[in-house]
Amino acid sequence: MLFPYSESKRITLTPAAPEDGPAVYDVLLRLGRRTLPPLDVFLAGYTHGVDAQFLVRHRDDGELVGVTTLSEQETAGHILASVHVNAEQPVAIAADATALTVNFAFANWRLRKVYLQSHEGDLDALGFGDRPAELVREEAVLPDHLYFQGRRWDMHVYAVYREQWDEHGVEWLNQIV
């Protein structure tokens, strides 16, 4: 049985409350990874369709360095995980945030897989760069699917399956908590 850890040696995931909306907006705006509506429009709907959302904070000083979200849970047994960590942070911070978020999803819901989407064609940005290929697989590439920063981007869709998480992810998790 999986335990829904919310801390690693480097970060903590704390549940985001409605009053955290401006901080979430600021993280997403600084990353520039997607086109955001005006703040008031964002705040009016930023928690709609969200199953869980976490602020990513440095464990030692509490500095807000990112946001993770679990949303769009389907009866088919999958959910979408979004991990947004400030670009100036070490890759290990994104890796910890991804691992804790994926593990939280599997620990709390009866899911077959957790989807992750990225405009980048490698797994480094999601923290999976040094993880075994058996843990995460690319399931699709949607050409020119996203538009932000004045250009079109491919969207890469990755999946982590429960069986692979139980076999390889738990070992990774045990190394970081």
State the CATH number of the domain containing residue 32: 3.40.630.30
C-alpha distances in Å from residue 59, one per residue of 41, 63, 142: 31, 8, 36
Among residues 53, 57, 97, the alpha carbon closest in space to that of 79 is found at 53
H-type alpha helices, the chain: 21-31, 39-45, 91-108, 162-164, 170-176
Which domain covers residue 135, as residue numbers? 11-176
Residue 146 lies in a domain: yes
HEC readout, 26-75: HHHHHHCCCCCCCHHHHHHHCCCCEEEEEEEEECCCCCEEEEEEEECCCC
Residue 20 lies in a domain: yes
Residue 1 lies in a domain: no
Residue 37 lies in a domain: yes
Domains identified in the chain, total number: 1
Residue 6 lies in a domain: no
Q: How far separated are the first and last CA of the chain, in Å rounded?
A: 16
pTM: 0.91
Residue 3 lies in a domain: no
pLDDT tens over the chain, length 177 residues: 689 999 999 999 999 998 999 999 999 888 876 678 899 999 998 888 899 999 999 999 999 999 999 999 999 999 999 999 998 899 899 999 999 999 999 999 999 999 998 777 667 767 776 665 678 888 999 888 877 778 888 888 999 999 999 998 888 899 999
| Max Cα distance, the chain (Å) | 45
Residue 105 lies in a domain: yes
Residue 66 lies in a domain: yes
